[in-house]
Amino acid sequence: MSSPSASPTPNRPPLQGVRVLDLTRLLPGPMCTLHLADLGADVIKIEDLGAGDYASPAVREMLNRNKRGMRLDLKQAEGVQLLLQLCETADVLVEGFRPGVMARLGLGYDAVRERNPRLVYCSISGYGQTGPLSQKAGHDLNYCGYAGVADQVGTPTGELALSNLPMGDLLGGTMPAVMGILAALFDAQRTGQGRHVDVAIADGVLAHAVIPLAGLHSRGRVPAPGGDKLTGALPCYGLYPTQDGRYLAVGAFEHKFWDTFCALLGRPDLAEHHIPKTRELSDWVRREVAQAVQAHPLAHWAQLLDGADCCVTPVLKLDEAQQLPHFQDRGMWVQVQTAQGETMTQMAMPVQMSGYTFAVQRPAPLQGQHTREVLTAAGLDAAAIDVLCQRKVVG
């Protein structure tokens, strides 16, 4: 079956014509505006004239493709006025400062709304614009900690663990911001009235803690780390080391999948213990499965499992995932020529739809690369831009 993007309809980006002013840096905000840019929005990445967005070079390259870049000093009155002028023709503004900073600069929602009532103004912060913790500093792990989510990421032995996929920043910050912006933008197109979208990363990750909350409701207590069905309580769902130190991901929740897996293990006797009745029996089944898996290297299991319908897969490393034919067929990897002339492998946009084929139109901009272009389009002549550059209002 062909993918939706293979439709013969015209290739029209769904957010074509939408202009976004991006004042964010690091991960949650830039990832949010990356999704908007990949869907066709004209995203202008606005950085200060100092360090700007100080994300690592590789992260910066991946998160800021398909955007234009300018530098603007918002601590100068002229810089504030320039941003307000840009807001007049923008559809969305995304900022990630600590609550109150934009208002103190004269760029709060009320000030922007006076210039453009239809603009969608999204604020991404750790704990939100209101509440006792609103001014508290934090990072991904802190937000997950307060939300009771870090407590749920652990091993079957009960030890908490860290993830290299920042759940708070991405699940709690990026995706709620995208959702809120698109909903408010849809409404603004109908009514002419924008909204202030207040995204708290802690709120976002808390709102997705569905499984732990279900455990609290059904058992009257929060599942212990590593002790719920998704984190190690059941031998049919877990990670098992192979002979060469790699892992199998066993997700055989359904009895038919468990039966197939036990047969492949050469242990059909374990099939009757899909959901063990006691903790002792569960531990025994897990040890037996672990012993069987550890008897062979990952390559053996990958070959044996190829074509087997049992929800058991190898745990690949990211560079191996790049070579997986499935992701290649889905177009999930793109080669990007950076502004520095280097070639970089990046993930593609994860949404396919009819009438639009994703492409990288431009690499991540250098700091200030499009300042003159953006200001010229806003109505400033070359002489005025030269003066602003001399005064270090823009760069």
* DSSP letters for 62-118: HHSTTEEEEEB-TTSHHHHHHHHHHHTT-SEEEE-SPTTHHHHTT-SHHHHHHH-TT
Long-range own/partner contacts, residues 337-346 (CB < 8 A, 24 or more apart): 337/363, 338/61, 338/363, 338/364, 339/363, 339/364, 339/365, 339/366, 339/369, 344/58, 344/61, 344/62, 346/61, 346/62, 346/65
- How large a percentage of the chain has pLDDT more than 90? 91
What per-residue confidence (pLDDT) applies to 44? 98
Per-residue pLDDT of 68-97, as tens digits, reads 999 999 999 999 999 999 999 999 999 999
388 closest CA partner among 19, 105, 49: 49
CA angle 328/346/166 to nearest 5° reads 110
pLDDT above 50 for 310 = yes
Evaluate whether 371 touches 71 at the Cβ level (below 8 Å): yes
Confidence of residue 225 (pLDDT cuts 50, 70, 90): confident
Cα distances from 52 to residues 69, 173, 258, 368, in angstroms, run 11, 20, 52, 10
Per-residue pLDDT of 13-59, as tens digits, reads 999 999 999 999 999 999 999 999 999 999 999 999 999 999 999 99
Identify the residue whose tokens are 């937000």: 143
Residues 6+ apart with CB under 8 A from 45: 22, 30, 33, 53, 64, 67, 68, 69, 70, 365
Structure tokens at 340: 């520095």
What per-residue confidence (pLDDT) applies to 236? 97
Catalytic residue among 73, 91, 140, 169: 169
Amino acid letter for position 20: V
- C-alpha 248/C-alpha 239 separation (Å) is 6
Per-residue pLDDT of 239-266, as tens digits, reads 999 999 999 999 999 999 999 999 999 9
Instruction: Quote the mean pLDDT of the chain.
Output: 95
Confidence of residue 182 (pLDDT cuts 50, 70, 90): very high
Strands of the 67-71 sheet, one edge to the other: 67-71, 42-47, 19-22, 92-95, 120-125, 196-200
- C-alpha 261/C-alpha 289 separation (Å) is 10
What per-residue confidence (pLDDT) applies to 2? 41
Amino acid letter for position 41: A
Query: 139 catalytic, yes or no?
Result: yes
pLDDT above 90 for 228 = no
- C-alpha 181/C-alpha 142 separation (Å) is 25
Per-residue pLDDT of 363-393, as tens digits, reads 999 999 999 999 999 999 999 999 999 999 9
pLDDT above 50 for 351 = yes
Query: 169 catalytic, yes or no?
Result: yes
Amino acid letter for position 208: H
Structure tokens at 141: 């792990």
- C-alpha 225/C-alpha 188 separation (Å) is 43
Per-residue pLDDT of 152-162, as tens digits, reads 998 877 789 99
Q: For the chain, where are the alpha helices, taking DSSP H only? A: 28-38, 57-63, 77-87, 101-104, 109-115, 140-146, 167, 175-191, 201-207, 210-219, 255-265, 279-293, 298-305, 318-323, 325-329, 371-377, 382-390
Judging by DSSP bridges, how do beta strands 19-22 and 92-95 pair with one another? parallel
12 HSE (CA, 13 A, CB side): 6
- C-alpha 376/C-alpha 378 separation (Å) is 5
Average pLDDT of 124-151?
97
203 closest CA partner among 20, 21, 28, 25: 28
Catalytic residue among 48, 139, 259, 300: 139
What per-residue confidence (pLDDT) applies to 4? 54
62 closest CA partner among 103, 34, 32: 34
pLDDT above 70 for 297 = yes
Amino acid letter for position 178: V
Evaluate whether 286 touches 265 at the Cβ level (below 8 Å): no
